[in-house]
Amino acid sequence: MVTIKEIAERAKVSRTTVSRVINNSGYVSEDAKKRVLKVIEDTGYVPNQYAKSLRTKSTKVIGVILPKISTETSSRLVKGLDEILAKEGYQILLTITNLDPNKEIEYLKLLKSRNVDGIILSATNINEVLIEEIHQGEVPFVTVGQHIAGLANVLFDDYRASRDMVSLFVEKGHKKIAFIGVDEQDHSVGYLRKQGYLKGLEEYGLTAEDKWIQKGKFDVESGYESMKSIMEDAKQKPSAVLAVTDRLAIGAIRYLNDIGLSVPNDIAVAGMGGSELSKYISPSLTTIDFSIEDAGREAAKLLLKQIDGSSCKDVIRLIDHRLLNHFSI
Amino acid sequence: MVTIKEIAERAKVSRTTVSRVINNSGYVSEDAKKRVLKVIEDTGYVPNQYAKSLRTKSTKVIGVILPKISTETSSRLVKGLDEILAKEGYQILLTITNLDPNKEIEYLKLLKSRNVDGIILSATNINEVLIEEIHQGEVPFVTVGQHIAGLANVLFDDYRASRDMVSLFVEKGHKKIAFIGVDEQDHSVGYLRKQGYLKGLEEYGLTAEDKWIQKGKFDVESGYESMKSIMEDAKQKPSAVLAVTDRLAIGAIRYLNDIGLSVPNDIAVAGMGGSELSKYISPSLTTIDFSIEDAGREAAKLLLKQIDGSSCKDVIRLIDHRLLNHFSI
DNA sequence: TTCTAATATGGAATCGATTCCATAGCAACA
DNA sequence: TGTTGCTATGGAATCGATTCCATATTAGAA
């Protein structure tokens, strides 16, 4: 591995001068500069970033903590992040927790020990220990998707999103709207989306039978089962169903098709999440697409701002969403 | 930021001893050890990785170069990589080229300057400059998806996969099999899959009209157009179509549906790639699922082997694939 | 001609770890 | 008692950069 010392010797200058050439700083004669550049070219020399970081503190690396990698959400987020960060010369150091809360803390420590210039956390479970670990350290920090007080947050407006979806149903003439949610422990998908649904009903003076409100997990099967419960147990059958994820919606559609009902003619189904799936199934699935790339870009910008010295305490950025395939209700 | 020096002072030992405690090496008395650990605990000290790497050379970081992040392939690959690497204490430094060949080279240099312990490249365009840049540097290296001579390669058996698909069609009684490919510049998807198709036909003594063999891009629309060309221009209509990606297949199905044909009753369609889509559209799409996570795991293992000192020159690992939804042809 | 300021360069300290080498205490053995 | 070997510890060099400070050269001003 060729070092600055070797470049200096070959170009017959001091290491100081080589450093000046590389960083375009201080006074260097044209002649010396030319010689140094020549040697660098010849040798294919690349400065050792660790030595550099050790001195300068800045590492040009951003740590990213993700719950999962093989989900559309994660990859779209990373895409948005990278768009902004790469442009500014930052690289992404990726860590994946696989939904293990202990790993969240472990990776947080690890990223600090690697002296990353900033950390972006797409959190799942927010707990005391995690928050404490975040606060001690003074590293620029942005969370995405879950709110943590006192930090910079990039959030999706889950509440409004499901209210919007209820509005759309009502516009299309639906009055009996069922709901397939998930556990409310999940603040965003479980709690907020349900609240938005309830609020939507309230705004239009609608009510729902208890049986219309079901709870599933994050998979297709539980969408199927939830829909089954609704159709079998409810006194009145709903004319529309809002599922909080696209997979749940697809499960629901499966069940409806299985019992010979046509979607959306007999009963309308909408999902949330804007998955790619939604446009390829037929008929395409009405859903809400959260602009996850935007969230990534926004998070990256907030982080860069903090790195530049601005304080972003208690900042909240709400990310837009839009309706996809609304014609298919 | 608390350093080893401060720990040493507080514990009334030398930095050497602190280092010994941290790394469990050399002789340290129980007493000294206890004091050091106490101080580390109290201060929340984490060793600076850059200083450490500067001395030891090892960085415990693996550079990964991807063409795109928001594709199923990329995220499944990263998942497989991370499964193995995280277990061994390695982190992933992610770079995304967005299909720009210049970036491939740029990032290669950058990863070297960051002294990563190894590099994994999911390459798109293999060119001279790139190969040269790879060879000079002596960093452990693995490519995924495209073959580069003299290196460790993890490859998918594209050739056999499309031959397998032809076999399946034949088994199901098809004799007139059309093909929607992509540009053969793309060695894996374009060239090999087409060759496999041709070989498959040959093996069963089948032939194809020229018009049955179309070329699209990587999107749904060109699948639609290609299918249209086949149906409008061919003298005989095929009874089956093999598309080299699932999206092309979906486009083809769209067109067939639009002209009132039923899939698979009137004409059978298969894709390749095993996208999630394939199981959620109805009827589900017959496709070939390459075990991309396996590829990731295999690549990681090959890299670790090289880091451990084994030479893996000219190694080729072929990754398995399997048929999905074969009942829907 | 002397002084000042801009230009050009290098020596040496520094960042925070690891590690080679020297030294010292102490027990066992001849 | 002297030698050997194990345990325990610290001093100082080292990794490869950056940067403060000192110094040398040269040009222009007084």
B115-139 pLDDT per residue, tens: 899 999 997 777 788 888 888 777 8
Token reading at A244: 């909080």
Asked whether the beta carbons of residue A82 and residue B94 sit closer than 8 angstroms, the reply is: yes
Residue nearest to nucleotide C14 (CA to C1'): A55
- Nucleotide nearest to B16 in CA–C1' terms: D10
Which pLDDT score, from 0 to 100, does residue A169 have?
Answer: 95
Number of domains comprising chain A: 3
Residue of B nearest to A138 (CA): B1
Average pLDDT over residues B146-175: 93
In the predicted structure, residue B109 carries a pLDDT above the cut 70: yes
Task: Answer yes or no: do A308 and A213 share one domain.
Answer: no
| Cα B176 to chain centroid, rounded | 33
Q: Tens of pLDDT along B189-209?
A: 999 999 999 999 999 999 999
Task: Answer yes or no: do A202 and A90 share one domain.
Answer: no
Please give the order of strands across the beta sheet that includes B91-96.
A315-319, A152-156, A141-144, A118-121, A61-66, A91-96, B91-96, B61-66, B118-122, B141-144, B152-156, B315-319
Token reading at A218: 């994050």
Task: Answer yes or no: do A297 and A148 share one domain.
Answer: yes
Task: Answer yes or no: do A277 and A196 share one domain.
Answer: yes
- Nucleotide nearest to A49 in CA–C1' terms: D17
- Nucleotide nearest to A23 in CA–C1' terms: D18
Domain contains B328: no
Residues of A with CB under 8 A from a CB of B: 44, 46-51, 53-54, 59, 61, 69-72, 74-76, 78-79, 82, 86, 91-96, 109-110, 112-115, 136, 220, 250, 257, 276-277, 280-282
Contact B188, B158 (CB under 8 A): yes
Nucleic acid strand C within 7 Å of A11 CB: no
Q: Tell me the pLDDT band of A105, cut-offs 50, 70 and 90.
A: confident
Q: Tens of pLDDT along A187-196?
A: 889 999 999 9
Residue of A nearest to B59 (CA): A50
Which pLDDT score, from 0 to 100, does residue B284 have?
Answer: 85
Main-chain phi, psi angles of B42, to 5 degrees: -60, -40
Asked whether the beta carbons of residue B94 and residue A93 sit closer than 8 angstroms, the reply is: yes
Q: Give the rounded percent of residues in chain B with a pLDDT score beyond 70.
A: 99
Nucleic acid strand C within 7 Å of A48 CB: no
Nucleic acid strand C within 7 Å of B29 CB: no
On chain A, the residues whose CB falls within 8 A of the CB of B49 are 113-115
Q: Tell me the pLDDT band of A328, cut-offs 50, 70 and 90.
A: low
Q: Please give the residue range of the domain that contains residue A285.
A: 158-289
Residue of A nearest to B66 (CA): A79
CA of B120 to C1' of D3 (A): 57
Q: Tell me the pLDDT band of B142, cut-offs 50, 70 and 90.
A: very high
Q: Tens of pLDDT along B82-106?
A: 999 999 989 999 999 988 888 888 8
Long-range contacts of A38-47 (CB under 8 A, 24+ apart): A38/A11, A39/A7, A39/A10, A39/A11, A40/A7, A43/A2, A43/A6, A43/A7, A43/A10, A44/A2, A44/B136, A45/A2, A45/A3, A45/A4, A45/A6, A45/A7, A46/B109, A46/B112, A46/B113, A47/A4, A47/A22, A47/B113
Domain contains B261: yes
Which pLDDT score, from 0 to 100, does residue A241 have?
Answer: 96
Average pLDDT over residues A193-211: 95
Average pLDDT over residues B12-21: 94
DSSP state at residue B286: B
Domain contains A63: yes
Q: Tens of pLDDT along B33-62?
A: 999 999 999 998 989 999 999 999 888 999
Question: Domain with A32 in it: what CATH number?
Answer: 1.10.260.40
In the predicted structure, residue B282 carries a pLDDT above the cut 80: no
Taking the alpha carbons of B65, B70, B73, B75 in that order, is the dihedral positive or negative?
Answer: positive
Task: Answer yes or no: do A263 and A188 share one domain.
Answer: yes
Mean pLDDT, all residues of chain B: 91
CA of A17 to C1' of C7 (A): 13
Higher pLDDT, A242 or A277: A242
Question: Domain with B183 in it: what CATH number?
Answer: 3.40.50.2300
Contact A150, A306 (CB under 8 A): no
Domain contains B53: no
- Judged by average pLDDT, the poorest of A60-64, A122-126, B129-133, B171-175 is A122-126
Which pLDDT score, from 0 to 100, does residue B328 have?
Answer: 67
